[in-house]
């Protein structure tokens, strides 16, 4: 457990050093006054928490400070952490009772979809599940190769199509093959696309619909992969994906290279989605179930004393 917390803390170094570390310095022996909340508000916005989420947070913090009769800034730390925690859902592994359980991932170009799928495949295989990868990214020439490398590394089967073939057809074939071979989990990788490209957004709707044709109720999970280095912008993109397909979770990619981890606090508020997993590095084992307490503690914890 201690190692896992260290991993969280190390991965969140950038977010901690650029923004939340400054918030931590607000808490000390000084008296709470209006300036305290002005400063806190400014720093939360700088930390990419988002304006609306920050303003709501500050309102609640002021109200609760009054109710509780707090006077010292030191007393605000626990209150803030508690309020930040309320902004996050508790993450859970998917329910694998459907066989196969079909999981589709979506997101803008380069957000981390294929890498996250590779890591998930390893995770589920380690849990004793049989896994099939489906490469519904037929758009980019190297996409199938990239997924195949992951399939080989993890040791799971894969179904892909020719470049420019119909991603819906690959999805259909993949799910049917999974049913035929009694596979537990199907992971569908989709092509990166800009949320503003109409045709491509129509295409992902089609992949989603075709999954349901191949297996009624599929995909059981559709997750948006969010590049956390993009900060608040990523949320507008995710919102557009949510209008195209019925998203029910988010994967945070690249938390380890992001200084904008504060955006995570706006995901439930703005998108209504739980964060399921967090990418804490590029390696196969660098994907963890999103642990909100470790996340919050890591962005505030000081560096010294490993």
Ligand X SMILES: Nc1nc2c(ncn2[C@@H]2O[C@H](COP(=O)(O)OP(=O)(O)OP(=O)(O)O)[C@@H](O)[C@H]2O)c(=O)[nH]1
Residue matched to tokens 């304006």: 51
Residues 239-258 that bind ligand X (CB under 6 A): 253-254, 256-257
**Does the bond joining 79 to the residue before it have cis omega, within 30 degrees of 0?**
no
Asked if residues 49 and 263 have their Cβ atoms less than 8 Å apart, the reply is yes
- Considering the complex, state which of residue 113 and residue 220 has its C-beta at the smaller distance from ligand X: 113
- Considering the complex, state which of residue 132 and residue 224 has its C-beta at the smaller distance from ligand X: 224
Contacts with ligand X: how many residues (CB under 6 A)? 20
C-alpha angle 267/269/272, rounded to 5°? Answer: 70
Residue of 114, 116, 190, 301 interacting with Mg ion (CB under 5 A): 114
Site track 96-115 with ligand X (rule: CB under 6 A), x = hit:
-----------x-xxxxxxx
Residue of 100, 249, 262, 279 interacting with ligand X (CB under 6 A): 279
Residues 137-196 that bind ligand X (CB under 6 A): 137, 140, 143, 192
Helix 34-46 vs helix 76-86: angle between axes, to the nearest 10 degrees?
40
Site track 43-82 with ligand X (rule: CB under 6 A), x = hit:
----------------------------------------
Strand order in the sheet with 287-289: 158-160, 131-136, 185-190, 101-106, 221-227, 249-253, 275-279, 287-289
Helix 51-68 vs helix 34-46: angle between axes, to the nearest 10 degrees?
150
Helix 292-300 vs helix 2-11: angle between axes, to the nearest 10 degrees?
60
Site track 120-139 with ligand X (rule: CB under 6 A), x = hit:
-----------------x--
236 binds ligand X (CB under 6 A): no
Instruction: Give residues in contact with ligand X (CB under 6 A).
Output: 107, 109-115, 137, 140, 143, 192, 225, 253-254, 256-257, 279, 281-282
**Which residues in this chain contact Mg ion in the complex, by CB under 5 A?**
113-114
């Amino acid at each position: 457990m201690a190692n896992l917390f260290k991993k969280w803390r190390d991965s969140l170094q950038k977010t901690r050093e650029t923004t939340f570390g400054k918030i931590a310095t607000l808490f000390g022996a000084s008296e709470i006054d209006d300036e305290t909340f002005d400063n806190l508000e400014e720093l939360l916005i700088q930390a990419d928490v988002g304006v609306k989420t920050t303003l709501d947070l500050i309102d609640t913090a002021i109200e609760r400070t009054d109710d509780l009769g707090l006077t010292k800034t030191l007393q605000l730390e626990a209150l803030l952490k508690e309020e930040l925690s309320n902004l996050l859902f508790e993450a859970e592994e998917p329910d694998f009772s459907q066989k196969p359980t079909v999981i589709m991932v979506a997101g803008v170009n380069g957000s981390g979809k294929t890498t996250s799928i590779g890591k998930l495949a390893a995770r589920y295989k380690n849990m004793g599940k049989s896994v099939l990868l489906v490469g519904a990214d037929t758009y980019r020439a190297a996409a199938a190769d990239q997924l195949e490398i992951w399939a080989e590394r993890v040791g799971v089967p894969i179904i892909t199509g020719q470049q420019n073939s119909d991603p819906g057809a690959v999805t259909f074939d993949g799910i049917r093959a999974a049913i035929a071979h009694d596979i537990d989990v199907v992971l569908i990788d989709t092509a990166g696309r800009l949320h503003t490209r109409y045709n491509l957004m129509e295409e992902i709707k089609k992949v989603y619909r075709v999954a349901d044709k191949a297996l009624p109720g599929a995909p059981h999970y559709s997750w948006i992969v969010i590049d956390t280095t993009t900060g608040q912008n990523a949320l507008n993109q995710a919102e557009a994906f949510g209008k195209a397909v019925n998203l029910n979770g988010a994967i945070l990619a690249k938390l380890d290279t992001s200084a904008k981890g504060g955006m995570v606090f706006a995901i439930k508020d703005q998108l209504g989605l739980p964060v399921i997993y967090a990418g804490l590095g590029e390696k196969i084992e660098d994907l963890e179930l999103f642990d909100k307490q470790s996340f919050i503690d890591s962005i505030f914890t000081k560096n010294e004393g490993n």
